[in-house]
Amino acid sequence: MQRKLAVIMVGDFVGSTPAMETDEEGAITRIDTILDTVRMIVQRHDGRVFGTAGDGLLAEFSSPVNALRSAIEARAEIAALPGSSGDDMRFGLHVADVVVVGSDLRGDGVNIAARIEASAPAGAIDVSGLLYDQVRRISPCGFEDVGERRLKGIFEPIRIYRVTELVDRHVFQFAPTRSVPNVAQSPRSNSIAVAQFDVAPGAITDQCFLAQGITDDLTLELSRLKRLFVSSRSAATALTTKDPVEVGRLLGVGYVVSGSIRQSGDDLRLNISLMETGEGLVIWSDRIKRPFRELLDVMDEIIARVAATVSGQVEQSELAAARLKRPENMTAYEYYLRGLDHHRLTGVSDTHIHEAMSWFERSMTADPGFGRPFAMHVCSWSNLPSFDLQKAEQQVAHALALDPTDPAAHRIMGAIKMKSGDFVSARYHHIRAQELAPNDAYILGRSAAFYVYDGEPEHALEMLDRAETLDPFLPVWITEERVAALYALERFEDLMRVAQTLPFQTRRTLLYQIAASVARGDVGKAELLVRQALCLDPGLSSVYIRMQETYADASVTESLVARVYDAGLPLTQRNPSARTKSMLTR
């Protein structure tokens, strides 16, 4: 008997019986149109419909993320169909080992997906805890923990998560606006990428945050060296290969750093290698065993060796000037990394906001002289209703007083100044961040937003070009800035084209498409997009636009609001209890 691991999606039309009683032929036509839409989207995401059940269907995917995106897009596109709404279907998703019987799939996993769907309310997308664990780091949406549920015919209770609103800013969302090259690129001189560090077998549990933190820090430190071309942080996470030749081909770099960590007791073992990407030859490799408290000294040593190997003539004075200020207390650094790990997931579940803030606060207490957690604490805090812009500015100012050379703190301060309307100071801090990290694609991409809002969209496009050259795997909430820049330039056709290159739509891209459609006189298209946007986020309103789109020229924001209002987006939230996150920075 053949078996395989698969992601099962079950979708069912809600309320077919009363619809049939009212207008049988009309209901049948409507249901068929909706199911055909779902089939098309399943195929678009490399899925396969393998069965039908009443007024529903069953589909399989090899990718949990593709299955989730399929359900989200299906609900949104159904909402845009004439005479339909996002509540017409409900979905249940589960990942399980299933039995293959011809073209059919059977077994307990299929039954669980069907029971999850049957217990969901109209319009809901419910997923099992097993599937949630697979997608939470790279999900385009947030989730609500519904809790454990006893499903009919299933012995053990199943933890259920419900899809909520789209996530605007999530560091693990990748959406390049250009295709990843399929042919070899000539490596740039003095170019390097840092592959995601692994956790070695036998390590103590919960060390992924440390591996990610080392990858990020090493990339950031190298990007501060003006003589190096460094492919940025998100590329390390996006790449599925560790083959140095393939990394060089995809990113156009001459060298790649890779490694693994293993913490055992008070000791940290770090395996690291530097390879050239022409033939995959190892330039040097090392195994380092140090007490955990000496990790930062090891990092400095690695950075110096890699820089010397790649650029050959990087002076020690430049290394010293480029080096971020380090905390003296390693416990504080470990707290910081744990906070960063949760911070990256703040859009997925609100529990991560509080966890991130708690870890950053521990780091701040453990080492009051360590500036970075003070700044990152503000980023997490900006997602809560209690966020206070004035107090946040004071806290980031304190972080900069502790370390004036931290580019991330300057970028965050620039965002705060822009939110408060001080575009002169905002410009200074964004420029300073770029000076301190000239090869950091993340800094460049985030800074492009400032130039859009300050009336220089052409410069913003140039910065995005540079950022995407450094890193073709930028998160969607950076690449979507190109849509805003094109709107500001009134290049509406280009805007619609670029927006459709994204693998999924965010609230911002939909809002700009709505406004662009109204500006082009296509109100019908704009109205359909409004229905789609409200299906993805029922609480969406002009409140979000005024909070998010902070143009120096207020008339641009008001014109944007007026256009989306003409298409049917409400001025205020329909659900007064709904929370509009400030999403200051990430």
> In angstroms, rounded to a whole number, what is the distance separating the alpha carbons of residues 533 and 512?
11
* Tens digits of residue pLDDT in 365-374: 999 999 999 9
Which burial class, exposed, middle or buried, applies to 18 when counting CB atoms under 10 A from its CB (0-12, 13-18, 19+)?
Answer: exposed
Residue 575: band (very low, low, confident or very high) from pLDDT cuts 50, 70, 90:
low
Residue partners of 261: CB distance under 8 A and separation at least 6: 197, 198, 199, 200, 203, 207, 210, 211, 214, 268, 269, 270, 271
Q: Which CATH class is domain 3-166?
A: alpha beta
Q: What percent of the chain has pLDDT over 90?
A: 45
* Tens digits of residue pLDDT in 440-487: 888 899 999 999 999 999 999 999 998 887 777 777 878 899 999 999
- In three-state secondary structure terms, 229 is strand
CATH of 191-322 among 3.40.50.970, 2.40.30.130, 3.40.50.10070, 3.90.1150.10:
3.40.50.10070
Q: Give the lowest-confidence range in 11-15, 149-153, 456-460.
A: 149-153
Residue 322: band (very low, low, confident or very high) from pLDDT cuts 50, 70, 90:
very low
Q: Domain residue spans in the chain?
A: 3-166, 191-322, 480-586
CB of 523 within 8 A of CB of 566? yes
Which residue in 482, 418, 416 sits closest to 444, CA to CA? 482
> In angstroms, rounded to a whole number, what is the distance separating the alpha carbons of residues 134 and 141?
13
For residues 322-345, give the mean pLDDT: 73
Backbone φ, ψ for residue 579 (5° rounding): -105, 125
Same fold, 3-166 and 191-322: no
* Tens digits of residue pLDDT in 352-361: 899 999 999 9
> In angstroms, rounded to a whole number, what is the distance separating the alpha carbons of residues 61 and 271?
36
Topology classification of domain 480-586: 1.25.40
Helix orientation angle between 330-343 and 295-311, rounded to the nearest 10 degrees: 70
Overall pTM > 0.85: no
* Tens digits of residue pLDDT in 264-293: 777 888 888 888 888 888 888 888 888 877
The predicted pLDDT at position 190 comes to 76
> In angstroms, rounded to a whole number, what is the distance separating the alpha carbons of residues 396 and 378?
7
